[in-house]
Amino acid sequence: MRLSYIARRNLAAKPLQTALSAILLAFGVGMVSLMMLAEKQMTEQFERNIKDIDLVLGAKGSPLQLILANVYHIDAPTGNISLAEAEKVMRNPYIESGIPLAYGDNYMSYRIVGTNESYPDHYGAKIDEGLFWSKAFEVTVGATVAEKSGLEVGSTFFSAHGLTDGTDVHDEKTFTVVGILEKSHSVIDQLILTSVESVWGVHAEQDDELLSAEELYASREITAVLLKKRNPMAILTLPNLLRETNMQVALPAIEINRLNQQFGIGAATLRAIALLIMALSFASIFISVFDNMQARRYELALMRTMGGTPGTLYKLLLLEGGLLSLGGTILGLLVSRIGLFILASAVEDKFQYDLGNLGLLTSEIYLAIGATFVGLIAAALPAFKTLRLDIAKTLSNE
């Protein structure tokens, strides 16, 4: 029988008090840990998707909406822009390249995005099965789409108008799946990719056939272009060039920074609440150890008569506090995983984003060490009294 065994048994003998302290700490640690996990994964997702996209060209409106809609695909687009006007911007000497995006339809809430092969290339997406699309109405689907929708190479489907609604189905045009992408952990996983022509084809009107090639080209619209700059001057000159048009360019880095700042206030408040709960839990551990020591004064004195040194009793109480804080911390890390799992399901349902990485972060290891250490300190303070325990007096008073 070891001291740690006695400490465990002493904790188990007071289940309500032990549970209260552990749950309080678990809640505090869990909240901090959940925020760390969510923040890290959101940041990683945002950074991964923003990769090398310096500017986004789209219809005038909220710049943040433009970024959220076209980079992250979690908002409605601001509108459409003329293909001819967009190509002019893409030919600007300060611009190195551009990826056109045209969308407005969905299949089972997964966006059907018309683009070219440079879009999957940009995210390093590779074919898992089949091919990339090469003709109109051929699609290559992202890994998550394939997994969740059950689409396979050779499957056919109709698109529905809008980005989430499935009621207004374009049943005159059939899409055929020709390939499935490997998981890239980027926004591509959640998309159905096809050619821009397919998107135009779905929405083609009967009198389109009467138009000349020039007229048809002039009437073509896309949703946005993801731009990579050749020269930083692009950031300064493009907004001026577009002033008189219905287009705008937005800088993802700036918009996301602004978004983070807005979220930051809420996050800081939540973090403060979590730290307050943690502080309460340490106070609870302090009270628990203090209370135990008072209630078990005679037991402790008895142990001294059986050869226990003051150090032994001190270690015992310290172990009780340590086990309590370690237990609470481990429980907290589990709670944060459960929280993240729930959050991930909600985010995935709403935004088709995958936040399900439940691995332990380095910062969480520091959090666990810190919480256990402070828990030990909270136990160490009242345990000091055992060093001065008057055995004879305690035994006589009983």
Partner 1 sequence: MIAACDLKFSYSGTTSLEFPDFKCQSGNKLLLLGNSGTGKTTLLHLLCGLIRPDSGSMQVAGLDLNTLSDRDLDKFRGRELGIVFQQSHFVQSLTVAENISLPTMLTGSNMTVEELKIRTRELLDRLGIGHKFNSYPKDLSVGEQQRASIARALVHKPSVVFADEPTSALDDKSTESVIRLLEEETEKVGASLIIVTHDSRLKNRYKDRVELQPLTNA
Given the rule CB under 8 A, which residues bind partner 1?
1-2, 6, 9-10, 12-13, 296, 298-299, 302-310, 312, 391-392, 395-396, 398
State both tokens at 116: 């070219």
In whole angstroms, the minimum distance from the beta carbon of 306 to partner 1 comes to 4
Helix (H) or strand (E) holding 145: helix 143-149
In the bound state with partner 1, the residue whose beta carbon lies nearer, of 277 and 317, is 317
In the bound state with partner 1, the residue whose beta carbon lies nearer, of 268 and 392, is 392
In whole angstroms, the minimum distance from the beta carbon of 300 to partner 1 comes to 9
* Cα 228 to Cα 160: distance, rounded to the nearest angstrom: 31
In the bound state with partner 1, the residue whose beta carbon lies nearer, of 13 and 365, is 13
DSSP E strands: which ranges in the chain? Answer: 55-59, 81-82, 95-107, 110-115, 127-130, 138-141, 156-161, 169-181, 192-195, 221-222, 224-229, 247-250
In the bound state with partner 1, the residue whose beta carbon lies nearer, of 13 and 346, is 13
In whole angstroms, the minimum distance from the beta carbon of 302 to partner 1 comes to 5
In whole angstroms, the minimum distance from the beta carbon of 381 to partner 1 comes to 22
Provide the CB-side half-sphere exposure for 266 (13 A, CA): 6
In whole angstroms, the minimum distance from the beta carbon of 1 to partner 1 comes to 5
State both tokens at 125: 């997406």
**Buried/exposed code over 296-319 (b: 16+ C-beta within 10 A; e: otherwise):** bbeebbebbeeebeeebbbbbbbb
In the bound state with partner 1, the residue whose beta carbon lies nearer, of 298 and 373, is 298
In the bound state with partner 1, the residue whose beta carbon lies nearer, of 1 and 213, is 1
In whole angstroms, the minimum distance from the beta carbon of 293 to partner 1 comes to 14
Q: At 355, phi and psi to the nearest 5?
A: -115, 25
Residues 6+ apart with CB under 8 A from 223: 58, 59, 69, 70, 77, 80, 81, 101, 102, 103, 104
In the bound state with partner 1, the residue whose beta carbon lies nearer, of 19 and 35, is 19
In whole angstroms, the minimum distance from the beta carbon of 378 to partner 1 comes to 21
